[in-house]
Each structure stands twice: as C-alpha cells, then as structure tokens.
C-alpha cells in the first residue's frame, strides 16, 4: 500500500522538483554576483506548488496522466530556456531584430520534441526510474555549482556603539549622499575613454565643492562600498545585501536620528536591489522589480512581452530608472512641507549600464533594461548627459536648501577593467569624489579621504568635533577563487606616485 501511495505521489514530486530547476539554474549562474534574495527561492517554491496544482486539475478533468505529465514537464523546461535561446540567436546573428520571434519558434519546436520524448518515456515500464533520473540529472548540476560557488562569509565586525552614542550636534546642516554608480576618476576617463571631464569638475568646484583627484574606493563592489560608508567601518564581510543594515538601519542613520534628523531614501530604480523597506521617513520610488527577479523573468518570453512596444507602457513603473534631477526636485518639495533636518540617500544607477540617455540626452528606451555588461559606447554616450543633470540638480539644491548643506557626490566604485580591456587590477577602485561643506568644516577634511570616512567627516562637521578616521584599506572582489583580496599596499604605492 505504501508503495502505491509513493508512486501516486511521485508525479507531484517530480513536477515540484523540476519547477525548482529554473530557480536553481539561475542561482547557480549568479550566486557570486551579490544580489540573490530569498524571494527568488520563494518564487521557485511558488512555481512548484502552482504546477502541481495545474497537474491535479488537468488530470482530474482529462484523465490522461501520462500525456499531461509529459506536456507539463516539457513546458516548464522549454519556457525557462527562452532567455538562453534568444541569447544564442542574437550572438549568432549579431543583432536583436526579430530575435524574439525566432527564439519563440525554436522554443515551440523544443517543446514539441521534448513532449514527444517524455510521452514515450511515460509509456515505458521503467517510467518512474527514467523520470527520476531525468529530474536528478537536471538538478544535480546547479545544486553542485551552488555548493561550490557559495560565497564564504566571515564574521561581521561589531562597531563600537559607545564611541558614537555621545554625539551632540551643534549644526543643523542637511546632508546629501549622492552615489553615481561606476563613475570613474577624471584621469581614468581621459586615459580610457578620451573624455575630458575638466569642465564638469571645474563647474562643481566653482560651486564650492572640494575635489579629490586621487581618490580610491575601499571596495570595488556596490554592497560592500555603500555599507562600509554608512556604517563607518569595515563591518560587512559577506555578499548578502541587506538594506536594513546597510542603509536604513546603519550606524550613520542611528546617529543622525538621535540628533533629530529624518531620512529621505531615493531608490535606484531599474532592476536594482537598493529599494525602500519601510524604515525610511520618506521614500522616492523608482522601479520596483529587483535584479534577481528581473533576470529570472528574462529566462522566459514574458520579459520581451513586457518590453514590447505594445505593452511596455503598462510595465514601465516596474523598472524605470530613478532620475537625479526629478528626485532632487521631489526632495526639495518634501523639505518645503517638512521643516525637519534631513539625510538624503540617493543611489543613481548611472553612468553604470543600462543606457539611460539618447545622444540628445532625452530618455532612452531599452528593450532589455537589466543590469548586464556595460559598453564603452553606452558609457561615453551617457556621461555628458549625467553631468548636465548633476550640475542642474546641485544648482537647485544650493539655491533652495538654506541650511548650507553637506553634499557628497561620489561613486561606489570606478569602471570595470573587463569593459575597457584594462589589466589594471585596481582600476575599479578609482572613483569620483567631490564634497561641498560649510567652510568651517574644512579642518576635518583630508585630501586622502576615502568612502569609509565620508560619514565620519560629516558627523565631525555637524557636531563640530573630530571623529577619528578609520585607517584606509582597499579590497577587490576576486572571481576565482571567489573572495576579497586586500590591495591596500598597491593603492598606497600608486597614491605616493600620483598624489596631486
């Protein structure tokens, strides 16, 4: 009897396990890219229950278990292979036009062939054994990769709470922390892209910004970089992104809130993981779909349907990129109605891909606006338009914010060496950094300030009392084997050679 029950439930077990394959396959390819969230696992489990439910109702209605089982398994497998098929089509043909239609045709034929093969298997006496082997074969490869590539976590360093608990602000300046993702240092822009960024830097200097031409980020990974800045220490030693700890429940924000500040959180938009989580006082929203779910959806035809000329307007709110100029206008509007002191956090996903602007700086519409591999052409196109928006936004802030604000314009890291064909292993650490602050706070600045000490400087300025800076360290993320490598000595050597 127990054997009968087992074989009756085996179909459901196989369907549920195969429904997890797309999620496991996705995680196995992206486990080292720092943005896998638990909701991806929930998505896989949801798919498992959904397809099991479909199987139950279809077999109840049509009584053809073997045929339905074959078709359902074939659908799961072929449906989530669309992204790989389209990538192959685009790579083979060299252009995107009609790639979706061709990919759908290939996907349909794959579905028919697989349905036929699986139906033949279900007619075999060894049906259960063969289906189990098929299922195990599909799952064992991604599970094995996940186990091998899972990022190793070190102990998280505890910050010294008592040192910061005694802060007592004497000044009420608003604080803006504006991150321009992947914005490279001026000399790198000149060397790699042939871009002369002098006018942009000069314009900001004329507005009162201090410029740091020999700056280096502490990490070349967004999660580490932003988290370290806002927690004022090298406290984060794993790749799990947690907005609560890294931003909205950070050490910086605890200190600011203790001194009466509210925070405005500006989402990145696009398909970014930097989103509001309810702990902020005000949220300026961008797109609401995350990297992980967006790229998972791109494994299916649904993404291209969502991005088609017919339907894209209905889904635009899911992945619209946050516009710096518009979000600063919204920020000033909030401040007009609420006279509190504010900390404004804005992570702008530019000049990082995806492309944001047309050549005339109007909004660029992308068929596939996900995070992917940036190109030199996209970077060169977007940078002047971003510069224009930054200058316009800063002018508006200075004109309308009467608190003599601290404005930090920085990038979390510089450009990727792979994008520009550079073998300089620390090129991605060479970031943009400009700071505008009340003149009396210049005494707390250091020409070698790095992101880890940006908030220590800001709090020193607000309380008019020096907080000791943390000693600079610099790390790069190594792909093979996966892990952080300290390159502080190499950075220090370059600093000494290139100090301006």
CA distance 478 to 493: 21
Give me Rg for the CA atoms of the chain.
26
Least confident interval from 122-131, 322-331, 430-439, 451-460: 122-131
Q: How confident is the model at residue 439 (pLDDT cuts 50, 70, 90)?
A: very high
Which among 397, 381, 386, 378 is positioned nearest to 331, based on CA atoms?
Answer: 397
pLDDT of residue 187: 94
Is the pLDDT score of 82 beyond 80?
yes
Q: What is the pLDDT of residues 337-365, one digit of tens each?
A: 999 999 999 999 889 887 888 899 987 76
Q: How confident is the model at residue 294 (pLDDT cuts 50, 70, 90)?
A: low
The DSSP secondary-structure symbol of 245 reads I
Q: Which residues pair with 351 in a beta bridge?
A: none
Q: How confident is the model at residue 373 (pLDDT cuts 50, 70, 90)?
A: low
Q: How confident is the model at residue 94 (pLDDT cuts 50, 70, 90)?
A: confident
pLDDT of residue 1: 46
CA distance 309 to 191: 39
Is the pLDDT score of 477 beyond 50?
yes
pLDDT of residue 95: 73
Which among 352, 488, 383 is positioned nearest to 426, based on CA atoms?
Answer: 488
pLDDT of residue 332: 96
Mean pLDDT of 142-162: 61
Beta strands per DSSP E along 242-304: 261-266, 282-284
Helix (H) or strand (E) holding 461: helix 454-463
Backbone angles phi, psi at 41, to 5 degrees: -65, -45
Burial per residue of 133-161, b for 16 or more beta-carbon CB atoms within 10 angstroms, e otherwise: ebbeebbeebbebbeebebeeeeeeebee
pLDDT of residue 4: 54
Is the pLDDT score of 397 beyond 80?
yes
Instruction: Write out the two tokens for 144.
Output: 């094995």
Least confident interval from 255-264, 285-294, 299-308, 389-398: 285-294
- The per-residue DSSP string of 317-367 comes to HHHPBPPHHHHHHHHHHHHHH--SEEEEEEEE--SSSSP-B-TTSSBPP-S
The more confidently predicted of residues 457 and 421 is: 457
pLDDT of residue 21: 87
The more confidently predicted of residues 3 and 174 is: 174
Q: What is the pLDDT of residues 249-289, one digit of tens each?
A: 788 988 999 999 999 998 876 555 677 777 789 988 765 55
Query: Residue 390 in contact with residue 354, Cβ under 8 Å?
Result: no
pLDDT of residue 175: 98
What is the percent of the chain where pLDDT is above 70? 81
The DSSP secondary-structure symbol of 269 reads B
Q: How confident is the model at residue 36 (pLDDT cuts 50, 70, 90)?
A: low
Mean pLDDT taken over the chain: 83
The more confidently predicted of residues 453 and 165 is: 453
CA distance 20 to 43: 9
Q: What is the pLDDT of residues 278-291, one digit of tens each?
A: 778 998 876 555 55
Q: How confident is the model at residue 423 (pLDDT cuts 50, 70, 90)?
A: confident
Query: Residue 431 in contact with residue 413, Cβ under 8 Å?
Result: yes
Query: Residue 317 in contact with residue 288, Cβ under 8 Å?
Result: yes
The more confidently predicted of residues 165 and 297 is: 297
Q: How confident is the model at residue 63 (pLDDT cuts 50, 70, 90)?
A: confident
């Amino acid at each position: 009897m127990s054997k009968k029950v087992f074989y009756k439930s085996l179909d459901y077990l196989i369907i549920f396990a195969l429904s997890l394959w797309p999620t496991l396959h996705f995680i196995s390819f992206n486990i080292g890219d720092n943005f896998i969230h638990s909701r991806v696992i929930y998505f896989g489990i949801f798919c498992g229950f959904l397809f099991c439910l479909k199987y139950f109702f279809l077999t109840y209605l049509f009584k053809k278990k073997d045929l339905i089982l074959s078709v359902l398994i074939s659908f799961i497998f072929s449906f989530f292979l669309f992204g790989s098929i389209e990538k192959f089509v685009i790579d083979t043909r060299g252009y995107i036009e009609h790639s979706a239609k061709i990919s759908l045709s290939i996907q349909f034929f794959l579905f028919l062939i697989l349905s036929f093969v699986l139906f033949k298997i279900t007619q075999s006496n060894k049906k259960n054994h063969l289906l189990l082997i098929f299922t195990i074969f599909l799952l064992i490869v991604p599970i094995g990769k996940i186990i091998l590539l899972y990022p190793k976590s070190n102990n998280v360093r505890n910050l010294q709470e008592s040192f910061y608990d005694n802060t007592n602000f004497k000044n009420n300046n608003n604080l803006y922390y504006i991150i321009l993702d992947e914005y490279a240092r001026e000399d790198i822009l000149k060397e790699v892209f042939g871009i002369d960024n002098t006018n942009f830097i000069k314009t900001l200097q004329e507005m009162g910004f201090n410029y740091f031409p020999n700056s280096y980020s502490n990490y070349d990974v967004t999660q580490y970089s932003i988290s370290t800045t806002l927690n004022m220490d090298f406290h984060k030693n794993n790749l799990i992104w947690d907005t609560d700890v890294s931003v909205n429940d950070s050490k910086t924000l605890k200190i600011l809130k203790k001194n009466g500040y509210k925070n405005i959180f500006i989402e990145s938009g696009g398909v970014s993981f930097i989103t509001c989580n309810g702990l902020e006082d005000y949220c300026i929203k961008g797109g609401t779909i995350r990297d992980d779910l967006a790229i998972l959806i791109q494994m299916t035809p649904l993404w291209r349907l969502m991005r088609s000329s017919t339907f894209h307007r209905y889904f635009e709110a899911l992945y619209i990129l946050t516009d710096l100029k518009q979000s600063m206008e919204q920020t000033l509007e909030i401040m007009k109605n609420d006279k509190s002191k504010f900390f404004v956090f804005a992570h702008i996903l530019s000049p990082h891909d995806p492309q944001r602007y047309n050549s005339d700086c109007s909004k660029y519409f992308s068929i596939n606006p996900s995070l992917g591999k940036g190109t030199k052409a996209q970077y060169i196109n977007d940078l002047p338009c971003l510069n224009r928006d930054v200058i316009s936004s800063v002018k508006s802030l200075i004109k309308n914010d009467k608190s003599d604000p601290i404005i930090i314009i920085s990038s979390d890291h510089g450009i990727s060496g792979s994008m520009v064909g550079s073998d300089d292993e620390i090129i991605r650490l060479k970031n943009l950094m400009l700071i505008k602050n009340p003149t009396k706070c210049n005494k707390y600045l250091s020409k070698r300030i790095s992101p880890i000490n940006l908030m220590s400087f800001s709090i020193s300025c607000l309380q008019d009392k020096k907080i000791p800076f943390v000693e600079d360290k610099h790390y790069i993320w190594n792909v093979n084997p996966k892990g952080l490598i300290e390159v502080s000595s190499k950075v220090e050597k370059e600093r000494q050679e290139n100090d301006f």
